[in-house]
Structure 1
């Protein structure tokens, strides 16, 4: 009888361990912490598995996760939060996530159009000249600068392949887990939709475990202009970093 009880105990432990390692759908609801009203279109990213979801009109959401995965909640005008998945999520069903609204003060923006004089020699010196190379992303109507099309872009990646002290070598060569997440982010439509509307690099920093200065330095080393780095949205930044990394991988394979 004692042996049977012991076997049942071992079986229960095994099932619990298995359930923790198994992907399951978890459900929740996102609410405004101030008045408990539901928040629609909150972006939820599973940072461990690099998959995304969006809250519905009633604030409800569903996403695949395992115990100890971290979910990242982001919505314009609210403070982004990270929540670790626990066994309670699976035991008690729907969990309420409350987000705090931020006070945003908009700064005055002054537009200064180019003032033309009508004299060709003078106006030719006034009008700014942009030599950024442009290309387009599938699904977007707008184009933007492409680093690898610039004359010295390939030599930058090649230099990183052959120089262990190079910044790109230290980022691309020594952080395979983060670079895998970079590739995963490109394939998830929910994450791409989130990044398309953001300019703060916050989601990229959280998922890739990089600082903003690191992201800027990667793009600078990949020959993107300061204008592009300053004005591009997070989706454009993601695609630019990914393009540079893929170029690095191709050159690295050829080297080996």
Structure 2
């Protein structure tokens, strides 16, 4: 009986949650006719949808959930849902158009942007193959020293333990490189330039900037392209402001 009671409570809790969750149908309104492609995300569940032509959308939610609306051409907005919002035929959301002018950029001014120039790795740092990295992580030293002299590694492990932080950093750098490759595979340069409004000469810099964001990389790791695109739009707004302020 003691084991059954918690199970009953769990079933009641899940049933109650399912009953409170409903489909919210809404429409985005703004001073433009281009209302498709706006990201709508439920902050609690992290589920996201994209508006269709005319600004229409449907998303699963419940009272007290917070919806986030984001697109490169609009100012972001967060709305906490109330019970009455679900009683309307359509939930209307007004967004303000983002008006931003980028200052003139100089071609190739940042042409040398890479992982070293952004400080992701020390300049001139040795790059290891996967096999070398495994050996270095396991031993903290080369397998041989001098001419065919094999070192007994066990007595030296503690001595080399001070390099743990460096090895961890190398692993993180490798992860960022993999995320960068995935990002370039998910979106082409035209998307960065025409949709996200990133100047062409800043695209690589923006990619390195994006893979530093943990929420974005978590979405990529989860293979959630809708959520990743939502975060990428947010990061594009931030990055455009950064490169504008640098001028």
TM-score after normalising by structure 1: 0.45
- Asked which structure has the greater CA Rg, the reply is 2
TM-score after normalising by structure 2: 0.46
